[in-house]
Each structure stands twice: as structure tokens, then as C-alpha cells.
A and B are shown apart, each in its own frame.
Chain A
Amino acid sequence: MIDSTARPIIESLSRDHSASLLAWSRGRFSDPRDAEEVVADTLVRAWRHFDQYDPTRGTERAWLFGIARNAAADHHRKAKRHLRSLPVADPADDPIDDPDIDRLVESSYVSDALGALSDEHRAAVIDAYYNGRTTTQIARNQHIPPGTVKSRLYYALKAMRGHLEERGVLQ
């Protein structure tokens, strides 16, 4: 039996959140297939319980991370039960109960905001913030005026701020 709500809901959730869920899941499972299976499982569970999502209790992404946490725990338990020798993280070292899902969700939104920038803007932010270069150095490396570098940084942070405001990370 096909449930006609499955495809649109799952595709929509995946479009908005699967990259973040996958990044998190890959950090918890050495085998990438396990990481992918946990994310797929998360999407299915989210679809099944979609009517239970309460926006007043938190963002959709936070809700999904909560589901993902449980899906990962179940996956670990299944692995132990079947005595598979997959190189998964030892549950004792990886308590599954992430202490701060809000922080996790926040970080994922910041990654999204960076990813949403144009290549030029993102490169400017990376060079200035992560590589510690001054606008003069960046301008010299890229053969552009320093004013252009400052301007790119300005519009990059404006865009990121807007992105994060929309998602409630910033007010």
C-alpha cells in the first residue's frame, strides 16, 4: 500500500535537513552505510509521526535531531544484538544522548548559512575568519581592491545574519 503523503513529506524534510542529519550521523558511525541508514530511518519515523510535531516546542530540525538520536541508539542496539563486527562507535564512548541538541541544531544552521553564501562571499569569510588574513592580504592574494574585500565580508555577514534570524538562531 502506498501512502501518498510519504513522498512529498519525506522529500521536503530531506531537502531541508538531510545534509545536517548526515553530517551528524557520519560523525557517529564509521561505516557510511550505517550513517545513511540512520538518516533514512529518521526520515521515515518523522513522516510517521509528522502529525505529532509541535512547532511551539522547538524547530523542525531540533525535532528531527531528537528522532535521529533515538534512531542511532536503536541502530547501535541492533548491531550489538546481531553481533555484527561493524566498526561502529562504542556506545559507551558515544552516549547517543547528545547533551545539547540545541547547540547541534544551531551549528547546523550556521553551516547552512555559510553554504548558502555565494562562492566569493564564502571564500572571503573563510579567508578572513578561519585563515586569519587581513583584508589587505586577501586583496593582494586575489588581485582585487581591499574595499571589495571589505564589501564582500559585509554582505556575507548580512546574509548570514538574515539566514540565522529566519531560523531563530539570532533575534
Chain B
Amino acid sequence: MPVPFFLILAPLLAAIILLIFNNKQVRFLTVIVCATALFVGCFRLLLDTLANNIIYFKVESHIITQVMLLLEICLAVFLIYIGIKNRKFWIVTLAFLQTLAITIFELVYKHAIIVEHDIFIDKFSVIMALIVGVIGGLIGIYALGYMKDFHQHFRKEVKDNRNMFFFLIFVFLSAMFGVIFSNNLLWLYFFWEITTVCSFLLIGYKGNEESKNNSLKALKFNLIGGLAFAVGIIYLFVTNNIIELDKLMSMSKSLVLLPVLLISFAGLTKSAQLPFSGWLLGAMVAPTPVSALLHSTTMVKAGVYIIVRLAALLQGTTCGFMIALVGGITFLITTFLAVSQSDAKKVLAYSTIANLGLIVLCAGVGTYEAVWAAVLLIIFHAVAKCLLFLCVGVIEHKIHSRNIEDMSGLIVTMPKLSIMLQIGMSGMFLAPFGMLISKWAALQALVDYNPLLAMFVVFGSSATLFFWVKWIGRLLTVTNSDLNDHEEGITKTQWFPLISLSVLTVAMCGLFSVVAHFLIEPYIQEIYGTTITLSKGNLFIMSIMLMMVLLFPLSFFNYGKRVKVVDAYLCGANTPKGTSFYGSLGDIKAIQMKSYYLEKYFNEKKLLSVSFVVCILILIFAVISTFI
């Protein structure tokens, strides 16, 4: 069986097993076996593709297409039912319209649609497959231990639907592989909608009022994208008689601009760009594996994946420039918003949207340098962000809080986790780690194309630094109030993914030139005929920097010998206990150190309302530009 089919079907089989058997050992075994199978499958795929360029597969697809159509109709009925039950008019309309359109389209044009290849693999597919397979597998393993703690914590409030949870996670993984490997746009659309439904059901897992509202919001926004996708596909076929991605990519830009814009629009909603960012923020109520898997590393990556695929068609067009602007504005504004948040998951969510905005900015520009940077950003962001979410998930269970201010002194109370958290955060913005390299590449690509677009990165990256270092600093500040070890009781199924991802984050800085050489550069070469190679001198310097940073933990060996430990300077009003002082009336006060959140200046309401209006206007202009 060719590997792509294996990768789509294996998680599906695992999902069915996980749904039927609600037994702990069966669940454990199935997840581990499936995760291992995915790792192996993805590496096999890597080896296959290194030898060849692009591999295509044709499937005798009539039955499959009909089954897909049937499933889409069933899902639409389900969603319409949900919409009616919760009195959400938009959901009913959107689900109805898009399924009606696709059904009529497929029935009317049944014999006119000729598909040459349904499935394909090229080097970019391999990169995405590795991300989904490796990170998806690790999150699956993590979820085993996490959900056990989760249900212990929420014993009274949340019903234990773990079999449904794992079923949905693995169905989702299967659908993601489907999105990555589909050449047939109708198949892509089908898998895309499956991810929407999985996301909806998983966000609402807790079953309380807040989760239900947020899951419906996510559903609404993703359905808007789905409708645009459907209209785009139909328009594409009616005007150009093609329904395959590779054929679309070989068309001339002026003929296919509107469908490309519509499909990119679907990508924008899926990746929560402004003005659609609200659903991702709301999705943070879901359990951490959901946030890590869907809402930072894979599903939202499907959104930018499709835009990066279409980047060559967007290059040089007004439409592409408008999409780039949306990405740039999203990057800038959501970075500012991340500064003002103290809820750790919200910070991570805004940071995710910001990085996706950066990828969209590069994809909208569409030059070979920009796409190179975009692919690099996808890889590094997926690894580092996943690590961060998983860490925050474990920390939340142990200290019972998601607030950054409560993570004070974590370096002492949870040393291993805080180090992994710091690795993840450094991976997000610090030289010589991955995201910095990607941002550097993006900056250079943007300056070459249009320096004004680079200004988004210039101003945004300074704000990025602010909130990450503020958080790292919070972990390091110790005020002697709570020095107990909180790290007992973390299961091996949670440690393993955390340690693997930490190692991967660090290793990727060293290895990224290898990845770039074997995967990214050939892909760019295939599409554009020319590519970038990294300067060896810079690589060497960055390796030196990496080595220096990695040697930092050595400090713990020469741990403060020949120093005299004193209390912090408190103007001489120290009490014998180092962290409190005598107030003006002689009473004892504890010292308080609160970080700056600048809420007055980076106010969520104000910034979002202004940027929503701006981005909507830009998108309207983008549509108009396709007709000019």
C-alpha cells in the first residue's frame, strides 16, 4: 500500500478501535502503536521522496467520491441540527449552502469531472507529513497521561468521554494527512471539512456553557472558510475545467485569480487571521492536547499550507499583496495583544496567530525567498509551539493556574519543566534558534520585495521579544513563598513527548540546514527554478552561538561558590524573612513583583476593532482586484 494511503487509513483504524474500546490498556497500546506507525510511515515517505521528485497516485475514485459526498451530506445534516438546537442561524445557513453547492456541483458535473491524480507527494508534503505525524503522534501519547489528570481534576464537572476524545484526535490526524496529500480539490475540501467538525467537537469537550459557545464560534468561522472553498472550487471548474491542485498551479495567474483568492480566504479563516482570530482565542478552553494539536501545530497549519501552496500564483498580483497585508497586520496586532495577556494559553494563542500571520505575509508575497522563509517558519513554529503548549498543560495541572504571574519561581519548584518551557520560548524568538532564523529569512525576503512589508516584521519582532522575555523572567524570579517540588506525579507518557520536543527544538537549530538542503530547497527549485542556499559563514557563527547558549546549564555546577547570599535590597526595612519588609506603620508586608502588561496601550477591544475594519476592507479590495 502506498505510504500516503497508509498514513490516512492507519489513524482512522486506530480511531475506530479507540472509540469502541473504553479500556485503559487497549487505549494505551493503540495510541503507542499508531504513533509509532505514523513515525515510521513518515520517515519511509521521506526516503521515498528523496529519491524522486513528485509522485502521483490515481485512485479508482468513483466510489470514494460518492462516499465522501454522502459523508459530507451527513455531516451537513448534523451541523444543521447543531445550528438549530443552539439557535445559531449562521451555522445552519453556511452548512446548508456549502453542502448544497457542492452536492449540486458534483451531481451536475459528474461526468465532466475527470481527475488524473487524486493524491500526490512532493517535498513540501513530506515536510507537512513529518510535522503532522511526529508531532501528532507525540501529542497522542501526551494525551494519555494528560487526560487522566484532566478527568481527575474535573471529576465532577466533566463527563469522561475519553473514547470519543481519542477517536476525534485520530480521525483528525487522518483528515490532516488527507489535506496534505490531496491533489483532487474535492478530496481536499472533504478532509478540510472533517477537520472543522473535529475541531468543533473537541473544543466543546468539557460540555460547559463556555466551551459550547466557543466551539460554535469556531464552527461558524471555519464554515465561512468552507463556503469560500466550495465556491472557489466550483468557480474554478466552471471557468477552467480543472479540479486538481497541480493543474491549478500550472495555470496562468490571470485566469484563476478569483478561485485562488477564495481558497486562500478559506486558508485565512482556518489559520485565524484577522478578522477571524476570535475563534482561536475561544478555542483555548479545550483541553491542552487539543490546543496543541489542532490550534497551533496542525489544523491551523493546514490553513497556511494551502496559501503557501498557492503562493506562486499570488506572486506579483494585487490580490497576493492584499493577502500579505492581512498577514502583516495580523502579525503586528496580535503580537501587541500577546503583550497584554497574562493567561498563558492566550499568550500562546496570540503568538500562534502572529506567526501564522508572518507565514501568510511571506506566502502572499510569493517570491522564492519568501516561500523558503514561510516553509522554515512552519517547521520551527510547529515544534516550539507544541512544546510550549504541552508544558503549559502539565504546569496548569500541577499549580492549578494558567496565569503567568502564578508561575513565579517555577525554576525552583518545577526545574525540568521550566527549563523545557524556556527552551520552547527561546525557540520562538531567540538567536540562534529556529524561529529567529526563519524571521531573518522572512525579513530579507520582504526587504527585497517591498520594504514596507518588512516594517511589520521590524516593529512586531520587538514586541515579541518583550512578552517572551517577560515570561522567562517570571519563571526565574524566586520569592521564597512556595518552594515545594511540584514535579512528582507527571506520567512517563507526558515526559516522553516533552523531552522529545525539547531535544527536537534544539536539534532543529543545528539540523535545519540539512532539512533546508534536502527538502526545502528542492521544493523551491521545483516551483521557481531557482533557490536560496544558506551562507556557510553565517551557519558557522550560529553554531558557535548555539553551543554557547547550550553550555549555559553548566552554571549549575559552579553553582554560586564564593558568593555571599543576602536578602534583596528593601531599603533597610527587611524582616528576618527575606521576602517581606516593615511597612510605614510597622506592619509586615510581602514584596510583590507584577509584570507589565500594558493593557491600557495594547487594549484588546480597541486594537481588534480597528484591525478588523482594516482587514475586512483589505479583503474586499482583494476581491475587487481580481475583477480588474
Chain B binds chain A = no
